[in-house]
């Protein structure tokens, strides 16, 4: 009984210890163009994702406010570190990119980032 | 601070369910082949154990794959059955490893059922060949399942030596842990002299299993860490330290069995004492598996390790 109580305490301590360890990312997203949370003047023709290691980009979703934007993304099982996705029909507004990839070690990565395309000003129109 | 999403928790739990399948396929037949007490009941119980572990592992492997599909689809539970995404992932190392696992666990389950049927049909206790064949076939299933870990995980990006090391590590640990539950059942045997002989024989065999386990484990450590200080300076290393501490605890328990409890076997009470200690060993092994599933899924080796240099 004493041994079992010690074991219970050990397991609880272990659980507490494990949950203090911050998760360390596997292969991750290194850079995007446009940059996350940036505001750009011109609607981008392509969106670029650069990863720290080769990944298989399996999902790329571009959302405007309340609608999905068309892209020329096609999931390819071949791994790469850089992806350039053509985004026709971009316009001023707020956008969100949802992406998902699989690293070389089989771990799945999912994340999201946002950017804004600024509305043209009166001086731009002149 | 660390937080786990629902998908991550589900993925961890499903990954955890895979390990008992491999362990039961290795340890169960080993006990029947080398440490059998002659009772039909033990054969039946071990075969049911193998069948149930195979069934659990099959569903866990399937769940793990579908959870990854769901994670990537991002459409909730329904996204787990996105056929386009399923097809895509089947073309990745995850798909390869999942198919290997599913195949091996189905085979394991069917083999256990077949041998359960055979034992019912036999009028007399089966011969040694019966157990040898069972061991060989289930070992093959476990080998295929262990081989699936070559395609995914941190060591998947390493060369053949590291991948061989992880397969050996998994097979050795699975054999040891998988044998614990049948060994605990053996302690109910009224023939204490035979129990003592069987446990001593297991102790002798376990030395070889330990050598393979520790050698493969140490090699993997050298590949995954850059310096020994990574064990305390990085999250991955720290989690690995916890695993090493648990391995140390398991070794202490095993030593206690070998040098104290087994030599003291002489009465039914001594047998039950050994049984309780084996159950404690099993709980520690399960905690160790949880830790392994956690850090192999949620954490990455330190920057600068051999893996990151590739």
The reported pLDDT for the residue numbered A3 is: 55
Q: What is the dihedral of CA B273, B275, B277, B278, to 10 degrees?
A: 160
The helix/strand count (H/E) of chain A reads as 2, 6
Which of B85, B92, B224, B243 is the best residue to mutate to test the A interface, defined by the most A CB atoms within 10 Å of its own CB? Answer: B92
Residues of A in contact with B85 (CB under 8 A): 58-59
Token pair 């990151």 in the structure block, residue: B308
Helix (H, G, I), strand (E, B) or coil at B304: coil
Tell me how close the Cα of B83 comes to any Cα of chain A, in angstroms.
13
Check if the beta carbon of residue B146 is closer than 8 Å to that of residue B57.
no
The reported pLDDT for the residue numbered B132 is: 95
Check if the beta carbon of residue B85 is closer than 8 Å to that of residue B65.
no
User: How do residues A40-85 score in pLDDT, each as one tens digit?
Assistant: 999 999 999 999 989 999 999 999 999 999 999 999 878 999 999 9
B→A contacts (Cβ < 8 Å), by residue, are 1-2, 68, 71-74, 85, 88-89, 91-94, 97, 151-154, 156-157, 234-236, 238-239, 242, 280, 283-284, 287, 291, 294, 297-300
Of B165, B182, B153, B132, the residue nearest B23 (C-alpha): B182
Residue in A closest to B292 by C-alpha: A18
The helix/strand count (H/E) of chain B reads as 11, 0
User: How do residues B175-216 score in pLDDT, each as one tens digit?
Assistant: 999 999 999 999 999 999 999 999 999 999 999 999 999 999
User: How do residues B5-46 score in pLDDT, each as one tens digit?
Assistant: 888 889 989 999 999 999 999 999 999 999 998 888 999 999
Per-residue CA distances from B172 to A122, B59, B177, B178, B206 (Å): 73, 23, 9, 10, 9
Residues of A in contact with B298 (CB under 8 A): 23
User: How do residues B236-295 score in pLDDT, each as one tens digit?
Assistant: 888 888 999 999 999 999 999 999 999 999 999 999 999 999 999 999 999 999 988 887
CB pairs under 8 A between A and B: 85
Helix ranges, B122-159 (H): 128-147
Which tokens belong to B275?
A: 């049984």
**A110 to B154: CB separation less than 8 angstroms, yes or no:** no
pLDDT higher than threshold 80 for residue A89 = yes
CB atoms within 10 A of CB B41: 11
Report the alpha-carbon distance of residue B256 to residue A38 in Å, rounded.
Answer: 62
Check if the beta carbon of residue B14 is closer than 8 Å to that of residue B67.
yes
Report the alpha-carbon distance of residue A105 to residue B11 in Å, rounded.
Answer: 15
Kind and range of the H or E run holding A103: strand A93-103
Residues of B in contact with A25 (CB under 8 A): 300
Report the alpha-carbon distance of residue A50 to residue A56 in Å, rounded.
Answer: 12
A108-117 and A38-40 as β-strands: parallel, antiparallel, unpaired?
parallel
**A105 to B153: CB separation less than 8 angstroms, yes or no:** yes
* Out of A4, A18, A77, closest to residue B239 by CB: A18
The reported pLDDT for the residue numbered A1 is: 54
How does residue B308 score in pLDDT terms, banded at 50, 70 and 90?
A: very low
Q: Which span out of B4-13, B95-104, B218-227 was modeled with the highest average pLDDT? A: B95-104
**Using CB atoms within 10 A of its CB, is residue B105 exposed (0-12), middle (13-18) or buried (19+)?**
buried
Per-residue CA distances from B104 to A111, B61, B147, B150, B165 (Å): 34, 11, 10, 15, 20
Kind and range of the H or E run holding A32: strand A29-33
Q: What domains does chain B contain, in order, with CATH numbers?
A: 6-309 (1.20.1630)
User: How do residues B44-90 score in pLDDT, each as one tens digit?
Assistant: 999 999 999 999 999 999 999 999 999 999 888 999 999 999 999 99
Q: Give one DSSP letter per residue of B71-123, joined into a string.
A: HHH-STGGGGG-HHHHHHHHTSHHHHHHHHHHHHHHHHHHHHHHHHHHHHH-S
A93-103 and A108-117 as β-strands: parallel, antiparallel, unpaired?
antiparallel
Query: DSSP letter at B189?
Result: -
**A105 to B154: CB separation less than 8 angstroms, yes or no:** yes
Token pair 């666990």 in the structure block, residue: B105
Residue, of A81 and A16, whose pLDDT is higher: A81
Residues of A in contact with B291 (CB under 8 A): 14, 18
**A21 to B92: CB separation less than 8 angstroms, yes or no:** no
pLDDT higher than threshold 70 for residue B306 = no
Tell me how close the Cα of B45 comes to any Cα of chain A, in angstroms.
26
The reported pLDDT for the residue numbered A14 is: 56
Residue in A closest to B283 by C-alpha: A7
**Using CB atoms within 10 A of its CB, is residue B294 exposed (0-12), middle (13-18) or buried (19+)?**
buried
Report the alpha-carbon distance of residue B120 to residue B160 in Å, rounded.
Answer: 44
How does residue B1 score in pLDDT terms, banded at 50, 70 and 90?
A: very low
Report the alpha-carbon distance of residue B1 to residue A21 in Å, rounded.
Answer: 7
Check if the beta carbon of residue B41 is closer than 8 Å to that of residue B190.
no
Percentage of chain A lying above the pLDDT 70 cut: 75
**A14 to B291: CB separation less than 8 angstroms, yes or no:** yes
Token pair 């149930």 in the structure block, residue: B52
A→B contacts (Cβ < 8 Å), by residue, are 3-4, 7, 11, 14, 17-27, 56, 58-59, 61, 75, 77, 98, 100, 102, 104-108, 110
Q: What is the mean pLDDT of residues B106-117?
A: 96
Of B113, B125, B134, the residue nearest B32 (C-alpha): B134
Which of A9, A21, A76 is the best residue to mutate to test the B interface, defined by the most B CB atoms within 10 Å of its own CB? Answer: A21
Report the alpha-carbon distance of residue B212 to residue B216 in Å, rounded.
Answer: 6
pTM: 0.86
């Amino acid at each position: 009984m004493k041994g079992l109580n010690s074991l219970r305490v050990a397991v609880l301590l272990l659980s507490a210890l494990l949950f203090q360890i911050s998760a360390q990312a596997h292969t991750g997203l290194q850079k995007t163009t446009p940059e996350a949370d940036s505001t750009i003047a011109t609607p981008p023709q392509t969106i670029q994702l650069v990863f720290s290691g080769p990944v298989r980009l399996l999902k790329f979703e571009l959302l405007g406010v309340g609608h999905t934007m068309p892209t020329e993304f096609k999931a390819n099982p071949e791994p790469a570190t850089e992806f350039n996705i053509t985004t026709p029909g971009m316009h001023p507004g707020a956008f969100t990119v949802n992406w998902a990839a699989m690293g070389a070690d089989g771990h799945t990565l999912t994340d999201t980032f946002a950017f804004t395309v600024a509305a043209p000003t009166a001086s731009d129109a002149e | 601070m660390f937080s786990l999403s629902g998908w991550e928790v589900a993925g961890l739990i499903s990954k955890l369910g895979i390990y008992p399948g491999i362990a039961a396929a290795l340890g169960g037949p080993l006990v029947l082949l080398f440490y059998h007490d002659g009772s039909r009941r033990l054969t039946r119980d071990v075969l049911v154990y193998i069948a149930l572990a195979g069934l659990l592992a099959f569903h866990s492997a399937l769940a793990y794959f579908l959870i990854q599909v769901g994670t990537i689809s991002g459409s909730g539970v329904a996204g787990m059955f996105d056929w386009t995404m399923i097809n895509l992932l089947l073309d990745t190392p995850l798909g390869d490893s999942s198919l290997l696992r599913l195949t091996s666990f189905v085979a394991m389950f069917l083999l256990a059922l077949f041998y359960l049927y055979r034992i019912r049909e036999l009028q007399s206790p089966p011969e040694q060949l019966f157990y040898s064949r069972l061991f060989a076939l289930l070992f093959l299933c476990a080998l295929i399942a262990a081989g699936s870990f070559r395609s995914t995980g941190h060591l998947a990006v390493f060369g053949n030596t590291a991948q061989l090391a992880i397969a050996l590590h998994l097979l050795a640990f699975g054999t040891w842990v998988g044998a614990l539950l049948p060994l605990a059942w053996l302690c109910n045997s009224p023939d204490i002299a035979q129990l003592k002989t069987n446990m001593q024989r297991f102790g002798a065999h376990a030395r070889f299993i330990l050598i393979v386990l520790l050698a493969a484990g140490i090699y993997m450590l050298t590949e995954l860490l850059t310096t020994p200080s990574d064990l305390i300076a990085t999250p991955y290393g720290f989690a690995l330290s916890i695993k090493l501490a648990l391995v140390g605890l398991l070794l202490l328990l095993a030593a206690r069995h070998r040098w104290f409890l087994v030599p003291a076997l002489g009465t039914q009470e001594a047998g039950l004492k050994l049984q309780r200690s084996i159950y404690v060993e099993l709980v520690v092994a399960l905690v160790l598996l949880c830790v392994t599933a956690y850090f192999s899924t949620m954490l990455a080796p330190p920057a600068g390790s051999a893996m990151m240099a590739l």
